[in-house]
Amino acid sequence: MKNLLIAQSGGPTAAINATLAGVLTGVRASGKIDKVYGARNGIEGVIKERLIDLNELVRDSKAMDTLTYTPSSALGTCRYKMKDWRKDEEPYKKIVETFYKYEIKFFIYIGGNDSMDTVDKLSEYCRFNQHDFIIMGAPKTIDNDLNLTDHSPGYGSAAKYIATTISELACDIGAYDIPAVTIVEIMGRNAGWLTASAALARINQGAGADLIYLCEKEFDNASFIRDVKEKLAQKPGILVAVSEGIKDRNGNYVSDQMSSGAVDNFGHKYIAGAARALEQLVRKEIGCKVRSIELNLMQRAAAHIASETDIMESLMLGQKALSCALDGESGRMAAIRRLSDAPYRVEFISVPVNEVANHEKTVPLNWITADGHDVTEELIAYMKPLIQGETNVKYENGIPLQLKL
Amino acid sequence: MKNLLIAQSGGPTAAINATLAGVLTGVRASGKIDKVYGARNGIEGVIKERLIDLNELVRDSKAMDTLTYTPSSALGTCRYKMKDWRKDEEPYKKIVETFYKYEIKFFIYIGGNDSMDTVDKLSEYCRFNQHDFIIMGAPKTIDNDLNLTDHSPGYGSAAKYIATTISELACDIGAYDIPAVTIVEIMGRNAGWLTASAALARINQGAGADLIYLCEKEFDNASFIRDVKEKLAQKPGILVAVSEGIKDRNGNYVSDQMSSGAVDNFGHKYIAGAARALEQLVRKEIGCKVRSIELNLMQRAAAHIASETDIMESLMLGQKALSCALDGESGRMAAIRRLSDAPYRVEFISVPVNEVANHEKTVPLNWITADGHDVTEELIAYMKPLIQGETNVKYENGIPLQLKL
């Protein structure tokens, strides 16, 4: 039997189910797979033998279409870091046991950095112990920090949500005639790709973020206050976009400036974000109206405003992962190589997963403007194609249709 | 000359520009208006004589279409409460001066409660002093708390954003296999209409809010923790929707439980929302993973997911306000009367603005379930028609087109 097992892992995105749908589309097209299973909650579901049958889904075009546009991980997710098999072989044994029991030949793991580490370790374990399984990775992460792929599925949709939302917030803020600062916190501890997408709000020469601070660049409170004051001298309503992970010159998170010391009525320490810390700073140093906004889980879950380019590429990467697996590739990840920005052209390739795992691709410092509070045209040119196109999401009773597995 | 002046006031919405476009459409259709002006930043712009010419816009169908789907108040907004003219006549004199200077015959003010108070006071002032101006109101508020109208323009779009977002967040939260509570704070200090719309996320039998607390009902911490524990016993990921304005039995805001006392590193008091207060409570009483999310300005600005029903009604109300004005009505507000839920049918009427101003329409207590943490079928039936239909918003370079006046 040549059965296939698929699982999803890491933080959900608006496009990870498109990649799952892509694998399933590939299964239908190839005719080379006997049975398809999904593991619940990533590799944990393989270890615990929590498998579900996906064969019916493969034949149901309507359900597959709904799946493509359903946010989050339909198979469930986990955050599970595999140890070296030489130190803890137990989970590896259980995985292999599940593979043999369900006659799995191919395993495709859709996820980010940690998931690619799992693909790497598991394929190495199988190779070393002469288990003839094929383990392929398919990328996803809104953070866009995966190595060896031009960009990551999920990023374009999150970027489109952020660009759209920032443009809408700028309209809201611009309606008032009094000095006010709005600070929007965007996900990204170490990589500022998502925060950079706030710059796309201005792409039609409309209102957008006035100041953009990525976590790659050292953040200085005094410079920030100076920047804000300068902007406030030009117009009343200022919009600032910051990465959650901005750090001061000593490498300490700006968000820690606020959480240190302060306790609530229960005696618990506050857990605050970078934007809230800066909100307090502006209140103290400038004293004008100030508000902080966290885009929170919405930036990875807002499938209704997903990028069609992103969804289509995510589908293609699922298909690519499967076709590589069928070709006998193992320990590799499907990836995107960009051929040109305008016209936007890409090709789908596969890359060695051990060069993806445990690397982090951050925004090049020369793509941040010299003044430290905006992004360059090169970065705009890189991001712009990724948010193009609106999806064909179906609505029922006024809200988007979603598939539950 | 029979000139028209339009202004917008109060908190922006995704539909207030549709009402502006509706007035302008009416101008074009009627042929009875000589010139059209817009005042910048509401009544303040009338007082300060900050008027802009809208005549060209009236003839530009494409710009008008873009305006219809542009969020926030394109003319700008203000929060200005007029005093009784017998106590402070100065602003009234300035308004009347502007009217005479620009040969304004008709003034249409699009706004919420305070704006209708302005319409009321101003029309009374004009009547008493025998100034022959016609002052009409057109409603807007995402809070849906305006009296004498079945619902308010802007509410349906905010409700559609909330229902969609809650359904997407529920997908995200449902992907995890560990006990976790996510608390979503929704706008509404005294009226829970917006929070109630979280219930619409379940309209297709999908995942949605597990617990919904409106500000109309007394909020009890102990009952809340009991409710959460009960839900957690059934499944790992729980989603709670709360009004920002939930209050305890003494009428104190739940959000004050957190802000009282606690100070940050600068010695400033924390300003926290209800969700953050409850986040701390869950952390203390249950100890599981917990996260709070504020939908913040996005819920009123997210025009990309506006309700087409809401946008069309907002347009119609603009037209209605104009036609009433042309018919000589003054001191009144265009409003919606619902004829039936299913099929959904409404008619557009006008109502005396003095019965709208300074009233607040809250959710009837019998539309909240007896257990206090959900809404009834009657409330669902009321809300459901208002979020139907997706708008024809145009995109350019991947983000929605917006019009700047």
Residue B404's alpha-carbon distances to B67, B343, B370, in angstroms, are 8, 37, 47
d(CA A276, CA A291): 8
Supply the angle between the helices B90-101 and B113-128 in degrees, to the nearest 10. Answer: 80
* Same domain flag for A43 and A56: yes
The residues, ordered by sequence, that sit 6+ positions from B252 with a Cβ below 8 Å of its Cβ are none
- As a whole number, mean pLDDT of residues A249-277 equals 72
Scan for tokens 């009544």, then name that residue.
Answer: B43
> Looking at the domain assignment, is residue A292 inside a domain?
yes
Residue B5, pLDDT > 90, answer yes
Residue A258, pLDDT > 70, answer no
Q: Find the Cα–Cα–Cα–Cα dihedral A169, A175, A176, A179, rounded to 10°.
A: 60
> Looking at the domain assignment, is residue B239 inside a domain?
yes
d(CA B151, CA B140): 9
Domain boundary, last residue among A301, A325, A346: A301
* Same domain flag for A127 and A242: no
Domain count, chain B: 2
Alpha-helical regions (H) of B89-154: 90-101, 113-128
Residue B351's alpha-carbon distances to A387, B132, B147, in angstroms, are 45, 20, 10
Contact A360, A340 (CB under 8 A): no
Q: Would an 8 Å CB–CB cutoff place A140 in contact with chain B?
A: no
Q: Would an 8 Å CB–CB cutoff place A278 in contact with chain B?
A: no
Confidence (pLDDT) at B256: 84
* Same domain flag for B101 and B172: no
Q: Distance from A70 to chain B by nearest Cα, in Å?
A: 8
Q: What is the b/e burial string over B261-300, where b = at least 16 CB atoms within 10 angstroms of the residue's CB? A: ebebeeeeebbbbbbbbbbbbbbebeebebbbbbbbbbbb
Q: Which residues are paired to B212 by β-bridges?
A: B241
d(CA A296, CA A159): 13
Residue A238, pLDDT > 70, answer yes
Q: Would an 8 Å CB–CB cutoff place A397 in contact with chain B?
A: yes
Please give the full DSSP string across A201-265, using - where no structure is assigned: GGTTS----SEEE-TTSPP-HHHHHHHHHHHHTT-SEEEEEEETT-B-TTS-BTHHHHHTT-B-T
pTM assigned to the model: 0.97
For residue range B278-295, list pLDDT tens digits in order: 999 999 999 999 999 999
Residue A263, pLDDT > 60, answer no
d(CA A12, CA B85): 57
Residue B261, pLDDT > 90, answer no
User: Pick from B165, B300, B399: which is nearest to A204 by CB?
Assistant: B399
Look at residue B97 and give its three-state secondary structure. helix
Q: Do residue B168 and residue A71 have CB atoms under 8 angstroms apart?
A: yes
Please give the full DSSP string across A116-143, using - where no structure is assigned: HHHHHHHHHHHHHTT---EEEEEE--TT
Confidence (pLDDT) at A1: 79
The C-alpha R_g of chain B, in whole angstroms, comes to: 22
Q: Which residues are paired to A135 by β-bridges?
A: A107
> Looking at the domain assignment, is residue B135 inside a domain?
yes
> Looking at the domain assignment, is residue A148 inside a domain?
no
Instruction: Count the Cβ atoms, other than its own, within 10 Å of residue A131.
Output: 16
- As a whole number, mean pLDDT of residues B362-389 equals 98
How confident is the prediction for chain B on average, in pLDDT? 95
Q: Which residue of B has its CA nearest to A402?
A: B206
* Same domain flag for B118 and B166: no
Terminal-to-terminal C-alpha distance of chain B: 24
d(CA B112, CA B177): 44
* Same domain flag for A208 and A344: no
Scan for tokens 């207590």, then name that residue.
Answer: B365
Q: Do residue A177 and residue B207 have CB atoms under 8 angstroms apart?
A: no
> Looking at the domain assignment, is residue B180 inside a domain?
yes
| CATH number of the domain that residue B79 is part of | 3.40.50.450
The residues, ordered by sequence, that sit 6+ positions from B287 with a Cβ below 8 Å of its Cβ are none
Residue A174, pLDDT > 90, answer yes
Contact B206, B170 (CB under 8 A): yes
Domain boundary, last residue among B301, B316, B332: B301
Residue A310's pLDDT band (cuts 50, 70, 90): very high
In terms of DSSP bridges, do strands A395-396 and A399-400 run parallel, antiparallel, or are they unpaired? antiparallel
Residue B263, pLDDT > 60, answer no
Residue A22, pLDDT > 90, answer yes
Residue B109, pLDDT > 90, answer yes
Q: Is position B143 annotated as part of the catalytic site?
A: yes
Contacts of B389 in chain A (CB under 8 A): 398
Contacts of A270 in chain B (CB under 8 A): 262, 264, 270
> Looking at the domain assignment, is residue B367 inside a domain?
no
| CATH number of the domain that residue A210 is part of | 3.40.50.460
Residue A269, pLDDT > 70, answer no
Active-site residue list of A: 143
Q: Which residue of B has its CA nearest to A202?
A: B399
Supply the angle between the helices A16-30 and A308-326 in degrees, to the nearest 10. Answer: 40
Instruction: Count the Cβ atoms, other than its own, within 10 Å of residue A378.
Output: 12
Residue A90, pLDDT > 60, answer yes
* Same domain flag for B292 and B173: yes
* Same domain flag for A167 and A96: no
> Looking at the domain assignment, is residue A168 inside a domain?
yes
Contacts of B297 in chain A (CB under 8 A): 169, 172-173, 182, 291, 293
Name residue B146's amino acid.
L
Q: Do residue B301 and residue A172 have CB atoms under 8 angstroms apart?
A: yes
Angle, CA B388 vertex, CA A401 and CA B6 arms, to 5°: 135
Q: Distance from B404 to chain A by nearest Cα, in Å?
A: 8
Confidence (pLDDT) at B258: 66
Q: Would an 8 Å CB–CB cutoff place A67 in contact with chain B?
A: no
For residue range A4-14, list pLDDT tens digits in order: 999 999 999 99
Domain that holds residue B296: 155-301
Q: Which residues are paired to B241 by β-bridges?
A: B184, B212
Q: Would an 8 Å CB–CB cutoff place A157 in contact with chain B?
A: no
* Same domain flag for A207 and A103: no
Residue B230, pLDDT > 90, answer yes
Single out the residue of A189, A193, A162, A139 nearest to residue A20, CA to CA.
A139
* Same domain flag for A14 and A134: yes
For residue range B40-66, list pLDDT tens digits in order: 999 999 999 999 999 999 999 999 999
> Looking at the domain assignment, is residue B126 inside a domain?
yes
Confidence (pLDDT) at A218: 97
Phi-psi region of B328 (alpha: psi -120 to 50; beta: other; left: phi over 0): left
* Same domain flag for A232 and A290: yes
- As a whole number, mean pLDDT of residues A74-98 equals 96
Q: Do residue B177 and residue A201 have CB atoms under 8 angstroms apart?
A: no
Scan for tokens 């979280």, then name that residue.
Answer: B198
Confidence (pLDDT) at A272: 66
Single out the residue of B342, B335, B391, B385 nearest to residue B148, CA to CA.
B335
Confidence (pLDDT) at A257: 76
Report the percentage of chain A scoring pLDDT > 70: 96
* Same domain flag for B11 and B118: yes
Q: Which residues are paired to B334 by β-bridges?
A: B350
Q: Do residue B167 and residue A400 have CB atoms under 8 angstroms apart?
A: yes
Contacts of A302 in chain B (CB under 8 A): 165, 168
Name residue B340's amino acid.
S
Contact A270, B273 (CB under 8 A): no
Q: Would an 8 Å CB–CB cutoff place B34 in contact with chain A?
A: no
Confidence (pLDDT) at A180: 97
The C-alpha R_g of chain A, in whole angstroms, comes to: 22
For residue range B129-184, list pLDDT tens digits in order: 999 999 999 999 999 999 999 999 999 999 999 999 999 999 999 999 999 999 99
Structure-token pair, residue A18: 């498109």
* Same domain flag for B334 and B209: no
Residue A251's pLDDT band (cuts 50, 70, 90): very high
Q: Would an 8 Å CB–CB cutoff place A203 in contact with chain B?
A: yes
Q: Do residue A176 and residue B388 have CB atoms under 8 angstroms apart?
A: no
- As a whole number, mean pLDDT of residues A237-257 equals 93
Domain boundary, last residue among B301, B326, B348: B301
